[in-house]
Structure 1
Amino acid sequence: MEAEHNARLTSAEISQIWGSYQNGTLTICMIRYFLNHVEDDEIRRLLQYTLEISYSHVQKLTTIMRKENFAVPVGFTEDDVNVKAPRLYSDTFMLAYVQQIGKLGLNAHSVSTALAARSDLHSFFLECLHEYGDLHKKANQILLSKGLYIRPPHIPYPKQVEFVSSQHFLAGWFGERRPLTSLEITNLYDNMQRNSLGEAVLMGFSQAAKSKKVSQYMVRGRKIAAKHVEAFRSALSKDHVPAAMTWDSEVTTSTAPPFSDKLMMFHVTALIAIGIGYYGTSMATTMRRDIHFKYSRLTAEIGKYAEDGANLMIDHNWMEQPPLNPDRDELAKKQ
């Protein structure tokens, strides 16, 4: 049995380390640019905290990889951000963006912690989980204090315990539909909020992209995000559930690029991957057939969009290859 202190990294641990490094270096670029333009002192302190924990995570990941003779990825560097470019997003957008970083960091590092077999990596990912939880809490507190926190919809408390007595509970195509469950509302609302913020991200990126193809790709993505927002809004409005705010007005008219096309393309494809994961979770917890089908259809649409984005990145040599298992058949041919 291999001793714990000499244990090699598992494929799961390698995947989480590599992904965390990519996301950490991207976050550093984004936050450095935001810090050069933010005006609100509270939001500035939050951005500074975000930058500090991101630098700390990347430094610790680098130390782990070098100790393991693991090739440190390129990720994103000074070449991928121009902090002096004009303002592209408002302070309010920056605050909402950081709140999403906290939420996504909580989800990602809960998975990383669960997958870590080695105690040092378990401790590292658990520390990251706590820091992202703290970041999310700080962002929420500022949003609440400024009256910007968007609360999920309220529904009445259940007055008694009931059991489902008919297959009508699963229906949704024809005739009278049952009201949405609290979990269905939660997922529809959360997916709508993420797409609304993503629409603003894509709007800014479409204006700032240097390549015409990248700009067109961002415009297409913005339209898809808007379509998905409307799909979720429609499902909620039929149950008289209020919709979330949009973020379009938080994007300036600047066309000067603060980020490289490579960074923006990676950012968008990463957001799509996260979105597909959330849609999958939503499908698994949705029991009304019409809503389930809606997620299935929307997932297929963004899956095609993601594939087109990957092809665009490959064409420009922007896609850094994740760690691969050896091709044993190819190795055998070299003997």
Structure 2
Amino acid sequence: MNIFNNHKRLYITAGLLFTFLTYLVVIMPAFQNQYNNLPLPGTKPLSGDAKAGKLLYISEGCVGCHSQQVRNVEMDKMFGSRPGMAADYANIGRTSIWQNTATLMGTERTGPDLTDVGNRQPSKDWNLMHLFNPRSVVPQSIMPSYKWLFEIKAVPLKTDIIVSMPEQFLNGKTGKVVATNEALQLVAYIQSLKQTPLPSGILPAEFLYKKEVVDTKNSKEGESVNGKSLYEANCAACHQANGEGLKGAFPSLKGSPVVEGENLELYVDIIMNGYDARPEFGVMAGVGTNMNLTENEVAAIINYERSSWGNKGKKVTPEEIKKIMDFIKIKVSATNQ
């Protein structure tokens, strides 16, 4: 054939064929995939700080240890309310015109999955402490410290965001730990990671390979949930497994007048809506509301805290907790109007 004897015609023909096949096999399916997988209704766009934090998340190598994909297996239930789906990643575009899309889904889990970490750990103070020195809040953590995202100032400015770090983590330095703009942007991105609920009427895919459910029902307390497990999953990161908290950062629940006291409304309100105890301690997020805790779960947490670490508080029932939760919802609703 003459085409093989004419190198110009050969290269032009090969180039056109390669371009056509690239469009057919790569470009056209990509456009179809984008069209068929749109973001879920209710998906919130990233704020300016969160967008900048996303670039920091990528550049600092967080994608190497943390995934953002809830697999369809029972063990991933702790990372999200449902398995991940294509629509969850429809908003992830190219990092820049010169850079391809970052693999935010991750490749391994040296650290926990972050798909829903904005709900699981919404405290800005906790996240800033964790970035400055992960061992300050998780003693067993192998995550590196990101101290270059912070400054230590003898006299912070009024506009500075001070991180409540215990002195033993300052390595002998004196002053206050101040978060830089980069640290705040990174935390803004981490806090934005929340799994979008499915539209009403749509059932999520079920998790496969279900573990055997152990009945932890206690006939005396009328509970069907494990208060210790709930505490470890939702409270221990700040208040620690021993209930002693972190001095200068998170209050101790051991011997706490709130835990052992009679003001149950205040106790439940703190669990559901959080508490701002500054300047003594960091701001507590509304863990109960963020995690959609039921009256049975809140009662189980309270009973565990009131019966642990030497505490001797009065046990509560889910029925009385529900009355308080309903009252708090009405009060909060009236305040917001």
Q: Which has the higher strand share?
A: 2
Q: Same fold (TM over 0.5)?
A: no
Which structure is richer in relative contact order (CA contacts within 8 A, separation 6 or more)?
Answer: 1
Q: Give me the TM-score of the superposition, normalised by structure 2.
A: 0.28
